[in-house]
């Protein structure tokens, strides 16, 4: 990371810490998106690519959005829409299948058969394991033009970065919990069985991050797919480890860990499942 | 001509047909001769200063060299304990005189080095070392027993820790000759029957003052510097795993067996991730667990692709048997996980 990217990361981290994102998440999932949309305006990051930012900057932004489990169609607006025919924002959702948070978007883009169309909501929202993700069936209206594979690649990369951020925060929460929670008269983090599981999750995340940043630089399909597969696996491992370390409290609605575990599970499948991306790696290498 | 092209072209005309195992006397000699040939082309230690036989090239060029070297299927480096482990330690902790005296002979294969860390009662618990060094006029006398010493059966010199006082601060880092008076090397056969490692018995072995690395009593710190090299990209360069992963993908492409596709992809992804971290390295303990498990998964997947013929001797099987040792040497992966949990994550002991 460059010094500017480090600054971007710490600035975003501070803004998101101050914004009390857990309350925003709790409101968003009951249909009150106002606090979340206020955050959207305050962050002023939706034009990071238009402002001359690189895909590496995008990764830095999405790591932080992941670390704070921020709800909303960020991948679609910040990463994907700028690669497609122009429509005015500020909030754009892009559907390859269902449309995420179409109810808060100013524009709904539908990509099908390498064409982009403007669309409208055609049914009530479906509920995701991540209750902040409101997924709508949409129907295409006017066609805008051709869609490039770059748009989907940008979505997969941003999603990979978001997964990395979600996983790294879930692991941090687990490590803190393991230091504080005592059983048998000792912190549970002193038990080797707990330590090794946390160490393995750390290894997975630590080794996924350089790949993520390398993919942002090279932008080859095999690197982007490798990053999505590896960040998805690492985040999933961190989620499982964090839940196991917390025990029953992690399974409750009261505890914030659930925001992470549920979003990780949802995003592992979004923007190409892990198996899809593995197949894409092999296809790119064997061509 | 750029460096990558030079390396590629040189390797294309010089890499020999597979040499006999370096764990045989004949194979060891053949591998030493190969080191001499590399050195003649100034390719044995490209990132070292010129005065010691290198080219003063940056780390990125060394990584390039390693990528091409492994892609070409060139021989394993019999000098690896010296050039990849002891040399970085000498650059950090050695004296200019030690570097001038030892490195050129290491760079051209004149001296092949063996590690001498483990003892019968000091494996994972390395600080429990019992072999001793006592000061005598002009130097030290070493006594004790070392074991699992890779390459020691045929190598020239060894490096390791000896106890000069009780406790962790009572360890000192010594260099010694494997054919010096009082040294007995007893080869230990591995599964294939060849002596890839050995026991070393030291009986009043004299070592001159100049062969202490760092300060007497400061050996633990010096040894940890060697161990970091052994756990990271210095010993196990990304090019090694990337070349193997590409070979695996090609093997898979012959049949495109869908049952194994995910594992093949994961092996390549892991090798690519290891390559991506070469310039922004995670801690050595993280790297060590990762590459050792990657190496095993990669070779297990290759064997599964080979099917019933997998048990027959061949390069993939050799690689698999070698990979099985990875989670054990350079500090077991369990010790690495303890280190990560306690020193990186800050969990209580």
ipTM of this complex prediction, to 2 decimal places:
0.96
> Would you say A102 and A95 are in contact if contact means Cβ atoms under 8 Å apart?
yes
Query: What is the nearest CA distance from A105 to chain B, expressed in angstroms?
Result: 35
Q: Is B140 touching A (CB cutoff 8 A)?
A: no
Q: Which of B265, B277, B338 sits opposite A207 (nearest CB)?
A: B277
- Element of type H or E holding A131: none
Q: Where are the alpha helices (DSSP H) in A129-286?
A: 149-180, 192-218, 221-246, 257-269, 274-286
Q: Which of B266, B290, B336 sits opposite A207 (nearest CB)?
A: B290
Q: Is B241 touching A (CB cutoff 8 A)?
A: no
Q: In this complex, do A230 and B273 lie within 8 Å of one another by their Cβ atoms? A: yes
Tokens at residue A229, please?
A: 């597969």
Strand partners, B144: B202
Q: Is B253 touching A (CB cutoff 8 A)?
A: yes
Nearest CA to A66 out of A249, A244, A268, A223 is that of A268
Residues on A contacting B at a C-beta cutoff of 8 Å: 175, 178-179, 186-187, 189-190, 192, 194-196, 198-200, 202-203, 206-208, 210-211, 213-214, 222-223, 226, 229-230, 275, 278-279, 281-282, 285-286
Tell me which of B230, B279, B293, B311 is the catalytic residue.
B230
Tokens at residue A19, please?
A: 């914004």
Q: Is B290 touching A (CB cutoff 8 A)?
A: yes
User: Per-residue confidence at B279, pLDDT binned at 50, 70, 90?
Assistant: low
Question: What is the separation of C-alpha A216 from the centre of its chain, rounded to a whole number of angstroms?
Answer: 15
Residue A287, classified by CB atoms within 10 Å of its CB into exposed (0-12), middle (13-18) or buried (19+), is exposed
A-B Cβ pairs (cutoff 8 Å, strict)? 110
Query: What is the nearest CA distance from A246 to chain B, expressed in angstroms?
Result: 15
**CB < 8 Å to A281, chain B:** 265, 268-269
pLDDT, position A97 = 95
**pLDDT, mean over chain B:** 95
Q: Which residue has the tokens 């160490």?
A: A199
> Would you say B30 and B19 are in contact if contact means Cβ atoms under 8 Å apart?
yes
Strand residues in B164-297 grouped as ranges (E): 171-177, 183-188, 197-208, 212-213
Q: In this complex, do A223 and B277 lie within 8 Å of one another by their Cβ atoms? A: no
Q: Which of A190, A214, A279 sits opposite B347 (nearest CB)?
A: A190
Query: What is the nearest CA distance from A203 to chain B, expressed in angstroms?
Result: 6
- Element of type H or E holding A107: strand A107-112
pLDDT mean over B64-74: 96
Give residue-wise pLDDT tens across range A51-70.
888 999 999 999 999 999 99
> Would you say B309 and A242 are in contact if contact means Cβ atoms under 8 Å apart?
no
B281 annotated active-site:
no
Query: What is the nearest CA distance from A282 to chain B, expressed in angstroms?
Result: 6
Residue B175, classified by CB atoms within 10 Å of its CB into exposed (0-12), middle (13-18) or buried (19+), is buried
> Would you say B244 and B67 are in contact if contact means Cβ atoms under 8 Å apart?
no
What is the C-alpha R_g of chain B?
Answer: 20
Nearest 5°: phi and psi at B201? -105, 130
pTM of the predicted model over 0.80: yes
Q: Which residues of chain A have pLDDT under 50?
A: none
Q: Which of B265, B341, B348 sits opposite A199 (nearest CB)?
A: B341
**CB < 8 Å to B277, chain A:** 207, 210-211
Q: Which of B261, B336, B338 sits opposite A279 (nearest CB)?
A: B261
Chain A residue with CA closest to B286: the answer is A203
Buried b (16+ CB within 10 A) or exposed e, B6-27: ebbebbeeeeeeebebbbbeeb
Please check the confidence at residue B280 and state whether its pLDDT lies above 80. Answer: no
**CB < 8 Å to B344, chain A:** 199, 202
> Would you say A99 and A138 are in contact if contact means Cβ atoms under 8 Å apart?
yes
Q: Which residue has the tokens 């925003």?
A: A24
Tokens at residue B327, please?
A: 């989670």
Tokens at residue A118, please?
A: 């403007």
CA distances to A45, B132, B168 from B129, rounded to whole Å, are 57, 8, 9
What is the percent of chain B where pLDDT is above 90?
91
Range in A236-240, B36-40, B86-90, B193-197 the model is least confident about: B193-197
Q: Which of B246, B262, B273 sits opposite A210 (nearest CB)?
A: B273
User: Per-residue confidence at B268, pLDDT binned at 50, 70, 90?
Assistant: very high
Nearest CA to A281 out of A216, A234, A229 is that of A229
- Partner A, chain B 317-346, Cβ-Cβ below 8 Å: 334, 336-338, 340-342, 344-346
pLDDT, position B306 = 97
Q: In this complex, do A285 and B334 lie within 8 Å of one another by their Cβ atoms? A: no
Tokens at residue A154, please?
A: 């940008």
Q: Which residue has the tokens 């499942």?
A: A273
Query: What is the nearest CA distance from B90 to chain A, expressed in angstroms?
Result: 29
pLDDT mean over B279-304: 94
Q: What is the rounded distance in angstroms from the CA atom of residue A145 to the CA atom of residue B66? A: 46
Q: What is the rounded distance in angstroms from the CA atom of residue B65 to the CA atom of residue B248? A: 21
Kindly list the strands in the beta sheet with A138-146, ordered across the sheet, starting from the edge strand earlier in the chain. Answer: A92-95, A107-112, A115-121, A138-146
Q: In this complex, do B273 and A226 lie within 8 Å of one another by their Cβ atoms? A: yes
pLDDT, position A287 = 80
Please check the confidence at residue B230 and state whether its pLDDT lies above 90. Answer: no
Chain A residue with CA closest to B250: the answer is A286
């Amino acid at each position: 990371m460059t010094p500017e990217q480090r600054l971007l990361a710490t600035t975003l981290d501070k803004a998101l810490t101050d914004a009390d994102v857990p309350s925003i998440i709790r409101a968003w999932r009951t249909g009150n998106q106002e606090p979340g949309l206020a955050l959207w305006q305050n962050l002023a990051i939706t034009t990071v690519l238009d402002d001359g930012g690189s895909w590496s900057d995008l990764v830095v932004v999405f790591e932080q959005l992941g670390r704070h489990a921020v709800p909303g169609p960020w991948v679609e607006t910040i990463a994907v829409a700028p690669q497609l025919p122009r429509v005015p924002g500020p909030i754009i959702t892009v559907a390859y299948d269902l449309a995420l948070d179409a109810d808060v978007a100013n524009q709904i883009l539908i990509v099908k058969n390498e064409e982009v169309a403007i669309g409208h909501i055609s049914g009530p929202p479906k509920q995701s394991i991540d209750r902040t993700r409101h997924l709508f069936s949409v129907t295409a209206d006017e066609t805008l033009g051709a869609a490039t594979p770059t748009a989907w690649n940008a979505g997969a990369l941003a999603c990979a970065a978001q997964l990395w951020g979600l996983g790294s925060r879930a692991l941090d929460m687990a490590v803190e919990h393991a230091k504080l929670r005592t059983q048998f008269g000792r912190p549970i983090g002193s038990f080797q069985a707990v330590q090794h599981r946390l160490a393995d999750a750390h290894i997975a995340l630590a080794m996924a991050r350089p790949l993520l940043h390398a993919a942002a630089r090279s932008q080859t399909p095999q690197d982007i797919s490798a990053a999505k597969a590896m960040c998805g696996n690492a985040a999933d491992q961190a989620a499982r480890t964090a839940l196991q370390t917390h025990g029953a409290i992690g399974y409750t609605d009261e505890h914030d860990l659930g925001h992470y575990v549920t979003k990780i599970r949802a995003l592992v499948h979004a923007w190409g499942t892990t198996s899809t991306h593995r197949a894409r790696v092999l296809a790119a290498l064997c061509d | 001509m750029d460096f990558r092209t030079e390396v590629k072209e040189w390797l294309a005309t010089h890499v020999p047909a597979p040499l006999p195992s370096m764990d045989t006397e004949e194979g060891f000699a053949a591998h030493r001769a190969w080191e001499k040939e590399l050195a003649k082309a100034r390719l044995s230690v490209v990132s070292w200063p010129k005065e010691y036989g290198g080219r003063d090239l940056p780390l990125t060029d060394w990584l390039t060299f390693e990528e091409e070297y492994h892609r070409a299927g060139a021989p394993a480096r019999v000098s690896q304990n010296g050039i990849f482990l002891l040399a970085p330690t000498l650059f950090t902790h050695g004296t200019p005189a030690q570097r001038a005296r030892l490195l050129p002979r290491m760079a051209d294969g004149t001296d092949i080095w063996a590690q001498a860390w483990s003892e019968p009662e000091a494996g994972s618990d390395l600080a429990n070392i019992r072999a001793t060094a006592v000061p005598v006029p002009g130097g030290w006398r070493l006594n004790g027993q070392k074991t699992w010493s890779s390459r020691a059966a045929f190598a020239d010199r060894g490096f390791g820790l000896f106890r000069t006082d009780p406790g962790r601060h009572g360890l000192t880092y010594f260099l010694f000759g494997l054919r010096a008076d009082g040294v007995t090397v007893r080869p230990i056969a591995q599964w294939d029957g060849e002596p890839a490692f050995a026991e070393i018995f030291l009986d009043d072995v004299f070592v001159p003052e100049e062969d202490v690395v760092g300060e007497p009593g400061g050996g633990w710190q010096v040894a940890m510097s060697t161990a970091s090299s052994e756990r990271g990209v210095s010993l196990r360069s990304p090019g090694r795993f990337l070349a193997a992963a590409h070979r695996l993908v090609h093997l898979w492409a012959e049949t495109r067996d869908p049952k194994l596709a995910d594992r093949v992809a994961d092996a390549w992804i892991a090798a690519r991730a290891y390559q991506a971290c070469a310039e922004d390295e995670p801690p050595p303990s993280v790297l060590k667990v990762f590459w050792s498990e990657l190496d095993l998964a990669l070779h297990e997947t290759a064997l599964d692709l080979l099917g019933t013929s997998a048990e027959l001797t061949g390069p993939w099987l050799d690689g698999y048997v070698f990979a099985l040792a990875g989670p054990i040497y350079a500090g077991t992966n369990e010790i690495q996980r303890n280190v990560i949990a306690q020193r990186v994550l800050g969990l209580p002991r």
